[in-house]
Structure 1
């Protein structure tokens, strides 16, 4: 092979190498720009969505404290118990953000919050059909506890979102009021009330021969 051919081949290879390197560098630049955009989109999403989640958690907390009374008396007319706080709303798909930048499990948990709220509403509607408005009974215990649990879940999701985006996570100093502790306190209090009620009911069944004999099979 003469020198001219060798020189031509070297020139061609050099040109191809230059094209390949140029394409590779362009690809790296595009990847870098896409990563920067995703980070910016993710930060914007986290800042905006956590504010909505915090507002929703506050609404859950208000519902968790609503026992159907106002100033210690039944909130409705003629001594009827009725809700004083409307359930909060959270409509994530109306928030203009790029959801796809989130990990799928985190995105799923955020987008499922409205479904959890609807499940609570449906369950309470069923309970409401059989309650005495003059006796708060199971309805308000269920409503308070369900919204307390949803509030805790929402706070946990918001914390995960902040952590994912590298945003600061504010934790109240020890000894100061804590929203999560307040929600957990509602759950604990209602669980104690239910346990005490069921204990009284069981004792009353044991003392009353009519109740004690229920369910016994005659021989």
Structure 2
């Protein structure tokens, strides 16, 4: 083997070793980026979930009393979730999970539109029953959705799972699940009553 061949082999080995080095460095960086993203966003989602539970618990009364006009009024601000304000490497996530997380603000906006519509067109004073039901229902669903996303992030980031509340402790997830079931049942019963009422009017016309 002549001198030129040795030089070429040396160049190829150098390029190969450099490529392996860069790949190994990038792999480690991607892992750290993913871990950091999972930690930051799952913690932010946990805060959002607690805010959702607070909204679901808001029945429009302050210490069991209506406002000065004798009406129920919103007592708890709705939580916000703005993932793009957090400086993380989003490309470290699989595309499907990244889409789920980044699309949550759009779902929050859609929920707020439904709530506004319920208060404006369906609810009436003094209790604004339909408005508060829709508000509780929408934010219970958002809280449950956020909990699922936080769990996925912890899993993909290989983080410890969130510690479940003790049996004698308040469980926001169980609280929101029960709220969804209760409100959906109430709405179904109300729709059935309204349908029967309209049918009765049509029959008597």
1:10-44 CA-to-partner distances (Å, cap 9, x unmatched) read 22112101110110010000000011111111111
Aligned-pair distance for 1:141? 0.8
Aligned-pair distance for 1:182? 1.4
Specify which structure has the bigger relative contact order, considering alpha-carbon pairs within 8 angstroms and separated by 6 or more residues.
Answer: 2
Matched, 1:214 2:202: yes
Matches of 2:74 and 2:138, distance apart in 1: 14
Matched, 1:187 2:180: yes
Aligned to 2:52: 60
Is the Cα contact below 8 Å between 2:60 and 2:74 reproduced in 1? yes
Matches of 1:95 and 1:173, distance apart in 2: 28
Aligned-pair distance for 1:57? 0.9
Matches within 5 A, 1:168-187: 168-172=160-164, 175-176=167-168, 177-187=170-180
**TM-score normalised to the size of structure 2?**
0.90
Is the Cα contact below 8 Å between 2:33 and 2:92 reproduced in 1? yes
Matched, 1:123 2:123: no
Indicate how the Cα distance of structure 1 residues 81 and 157 shifts in structure 2: closer, same or farther if over 3 A, else same: same
Matched, 1:111 2:102: yes
Aligned to 1:77: 68
**TM-score normalised to the size of structure 1?**
0.85
SS at match of 1:61: helix
Q: CA RMSD, aligned part only?
A: 2.1
Give the one of 153, 156, 172 matched to 2:148: 156
Structure 1 unaligned regions, length at least 5: 1-8
Matches of 1:173 and 1:58, distance apart in 2: 13
Matches of 1:196 and 1:212, distance apart in 2: 17
Structure 2 unaligned regions, length at least 5: none
Aligned-pair distance for 1:199? 4.6
Aligned-pair distance for 1:145? 0.6
